Chain A
Amino acid sequence: MNTVAVGEKPGFLQKTILYLILWLGAIMSAFPFYWMFVVGTNDRSAVFHIPPKLVWGNLLLTNMEKVIERILFFRSMYNSFILASLETVFVLFFCALAGFAFAKYEFPLKRSLFILVLGTLFVPQQLSLLPNYIIMAKLHWIDDFKAIIVPGMVNAFGIFWMRQYIEAAVSNDLIEAGRIDGCSHFRIFWRIILPIITPALSTLGIFTFMYVWNDFMWPLVVLKSQEHFTLQMTLRQLLYNRDGVDYGMVMAATFTATLPLLLVFLLFNRWFISGLTSGAVKA
């Protein structure tokens, strides 16, 4: 902390204010996670303890037992996991294929079609909510995971993301060489392109997984039976209780539900953050 940049302004006061701002921001961001953990490991009175309890207890398992009694916690976690994984696989496959076509193939109307793809990014989801619900009803997909997976199997942002990356990272010579060696179109994609674009796939994969895992409104509209509920839907049920809410239990559940994504994030944060900013730079 003692290293002062050569020559110029960083006065002591300025530096203190700077770090004060940064730490305040950090504490604000991280505190609710810690608080979730503290309350989740204590009994129900801990929430209203004065001054606020800041030390964790040992009741996480007891609280989780109560959660499991009240809601289908692990069943819904499994549902969320299956939905998010399947969706991610589809999105990666179809977006990479389309992105590859837009990056490296020549075909009539390519430009207009790509602009059309981008244009769809600006259409609010709510505008198609009702008809999509009706379509699902007609297809008899209400309360079926297909209603969640099929409409989201490929999306405009993913195509855009893949196109940008493939255009920059894959040289035409490589594709040319593959053609000369007699590779089919699909074989080139599968054996040459996919391995090269792993970083882009990781970013898109993480974001897709996170999006599906955390989505709330569409599952709420199309899923009807308890055993098909996603994690977010069952979590919500914990808040309604005639005899006062047991916040220890609620926080134990939210903490456990947040843990998988938290771990994924801490492992892959570099990809998360690069994906986030490159989306912004280009838009």
Chain B
Amino acid sequence: MSQTIVAANVGKPPKRPFWTERRRTASTAYLYISPFFILFLIFGVYPIFFTFYLSFFKWNAISPMKYVGFQNFALIFEDPTFWVSLMNTILMGIMGTVPQLIVALLLAVALNSAIVRFKNFFRIVYFLPNITSIVAVTLVFSVIFSNQGMANMLLDWLGVTTDVAWNSGWWGVKIAIAVMIFWRWTGYNAIIYLAGLQSISPELYEAAKIDGANSRDALFKITIPLLKPFILFTILTSTIGSLQLFTEPFVFLGTSGTGATRPEGITMVIYLYREAFTNSYFGTAAATAVVLFLFTIIFSLINLMITNRLGSSGSSLGGAK
């Protein structure tokens, strides 16, 4: 009897309590990270699958759901307003983003120059627009872009006599909204570029200069390639941001809170919002969300490819872009 016990004890390690230090530590860690995963399952994972699921059903959020296959997608693709919203989103995105990133880079390079004083002051002022709420920004700009507002005053002063209908014209609306995006994000991106510029060692420029590089070479062979991760970051965030454009056009053109927006400024997210919360077409709204998601992925990939090429040609082909 006693012999079997000894034999058994040789086979396995000495008896230990179940709650070893390691197990205790691991379970504590799981406990600490669990709030995120619980909330993420409920409000993140489940909703994504449900949106995809919902896009195949006809539903008004009250009566039973009815399977319709790809009909919701067919419906939105046949709806001219959907295409207008897509067109608007892309146009306003490009108009707001491209000048913004160029000017941001310009500001960052200027700010990074060795002779600039009050660097901190400029940095603070440039970031100011970003903390203001989009609703407040839109209200201020809707004053500037009202019929007799400052924008038209400026045009008069410049000798352009025809007033632009900023809140109803096809291009007027887009320009006004692009200006709002530009104002809000230029300084933000300038500060990100500045951080990137400051991470480049000045010795690199010294060495290049000794090797006979001019300032153009320095820009295309050192600055832009090394700034690439930062440029990529800003392009990706601005692209994703512009695809989700909602508040500016919604507040600028919305009427009495019904969510209806003039076709000049409707975006994909406003279209989605309107399908769901004004018309109670949850199926087509879900289909719109799916399409929006696919566009986000496609545009992000295109951006990645372009930025990759930009960086590699900058370093290997000598700035031919």
Contacts of A98 in B (CB 8 A): 32-33, 35-36
- Cα distance A52–B123 when bound, in Å? 27
State whether B43 touches A135 (Cβ < 8 A).
yes
- Cα distance A210–B130 when bound, in Å? 10
Contact flags A137-157 to B (C-beta < 8 A → 1, else 0): 100000000000011011110
Contacts of A25 in B (CB 8 A): 103, 107, 122, 125-126, 186-187, 190
Does chain B have a CB within 8 A of A174? no
State whether A126 touches B195 (Cβ < 8 A).
no
Contact of A18 among B22, B116, B230, B247 (CB under 8 A): B116
Which of B9-17, B249-257, B308-316 interfaces with chain A? B249-257
Contacts of B187 in A (CB 8 A): 25, 29
Does chain B have a CB within 8 A of A237? yes
Q: How many A-B residue pairs have CB under 8 A?
A: 269
Shortest Cβ distance from residue B258 to the other chain A in the assembled complex, whole angstroms = 10
State whether A105 touches B26 (Cβ < 8 A).
yes
State whether A135 touches B47 (Cβ < 8 A).
yes
A contacts with B: majority SS:
helix
Contacts of A125 in B (CB 8 A): 244
State whether B51 touches A127 (Cβ < 8 A).
yes
Does chain B have a CB within 8 A of A223? no
Contacts of B121 in A (CB 8 A): 26
Does chain B have a CB within 8 A of A58? no
State whether B135 touches A29 (Cβ < 8 A).
no
Does chain B have a CB within 8 A of A235? yes
Contacts of B276 in A (CB 8 A): 129-130, 133
Contact flags B105-136 to A (C-beta < 8 A → 1, else 0): 01100110111110001111111110111111
By the criterion of a CB under 8 Å from any partner CB, how many residues of chain B are at the interface? Answer: 98
Given known A22-B107, A221-B277, A236-B135, contact A10–B126 (CB-CB < 8 A):
no
Contact flags A52-82 to B (C-beta < 8 A → 1, else 0): 1000000000000000000000000000000
Given known A107-B25, A132-B43, contact A240–B247 (CB-CB < 8 A):
no
Which of B37, B143, B187, B233 has the most C-beta atoms of chain A within 10 angstroms of its own C-beta?
A: B143
- A18-B116, A127-B51, A283-B233 known; 9 new pairs, CB 8 Å cut-off, are A10-B115, A25-B186, A32-B140, A33-B128, A51-B153, A126-B292, A131-B46, A235-B135, A276-B191
- 7 pairs, CB–CB < 8 Å, chain A vs chain B: A35-B144, A120-B40, A124-B292, A124-B296, A127-B292, A232-B134, A281-B199
A residues adjacent to B (C-beta < 8 A): 1, 3-5, 10, 15, 18-19, 21-22, 25-26, 28-30, 32-33, 35-36, 39, 47-48, 50-52, 94, 97-98, 100-102, 105-108, 110, 113, 117, 120, 123-135, 137, 150-151, 153-156, 159, 185, 189, 210, 213-214, 216-217, 221, 231-232, 235-240, 247, 250-251, 254, 257-258, 261-262, 265-266, 269, 272-273, 276-277, 280-281, 283
